[in-house]
Amino acid sequence: MGSLRVESFPLRPGAGLLLVAVLLGGEAAAQPPATRSIYCCDVGGQPICGDILPAACYGRAYRELSPSGVVRRTVPAPLTADELSRRAELERQRRAEEAERQRQQRLDQALLETYRSLDDLERRRDRELRDVERTLEALREREAALVERQRALIQDATRTDKSDVAASLERDIRTLDSEIVAQRGVLEAKTRERAAVLERFAEDRRRYLELTAEDGGMPSSR
């Protein structure tokens, strides 16, 4: 016997399953009760049912019922293009957040492995700052020496009456101008480096305290 379709036929509330059972009576004798299903969806507030999914139910949420009316499963309506787009965006955000969580976890582990204690962190900070300060002091001394040498040349240039000597001094003064500018650029870069060292160790210290507080205390010395 071919499959009987009951579709696109609005039913009064409460009459849907009864009519389906009557119309499918012949089918009931030919199919094992455990395998038979009725498919229903709601169209305009009315149930539309059939022994296969009615055409009116395409693109809609529908229910699969047993002949006795027990809902075996509920199938949601297919997602719209906007819903698919939103779901893809949420998944992208979830993956980005997970990647950031894993990145932070690796950074935290490296931080705890780098410093044995808070005192160890502060000793390393002070040592690195001392190295930067020594370099800064040497750069300042070099700058001061260049400026002093240029001042002396300028004074010599104002005292000489010989044009060839004055021209030579002028070239030396311009050369020193370039050296002083370059030296000040190096000095500024090293000053920024010092600020970066302070900022990095301040952040490391803050995060180290957070992690060790979460662990209930300071990590043991290695």
Tens digits of residue pLDDT in 177-212: 899 999 999 999 999 999 999 999 999 999 999 999
pLDDT above 90 covers a percentage of the chain that reads: 62
**Beta bridge pairs of residue 206:** none
Is the pLDDT reported for residue 123 higher than 60?
Answer: yes
Q: pLDDT per residue over 188-197, tens digit each?
A: 999 999 999 9
- Nearest-angstrom CA–CA distance, 120 and 123: 5
Cβ–Cβ contacts within 10 Å for residue 125, how many? Answer: 18
Question: C-alpha angle 74/77/78, rounded to 5°?
Answer: 130
pLDDT, averaged across the chain: 83
Task: Return all residues near 28 (Cβ < 8 A) that are at least 6 apart.
Answer: 21, 36, 67
Q: Single out the residue of 128, 131, 146, 134 nearest to residue 198, CA to CA.
A: 128
pLDDT digits (tens, 9 = 90+) for 147-156: 998 888 888 8
Q: What is the dihedral of CA 166, 167, 172, 174, to 10 degrees?
A: 110
What band does 4 get if pLDDT is binned at 50, 70 and 90?
A: very low
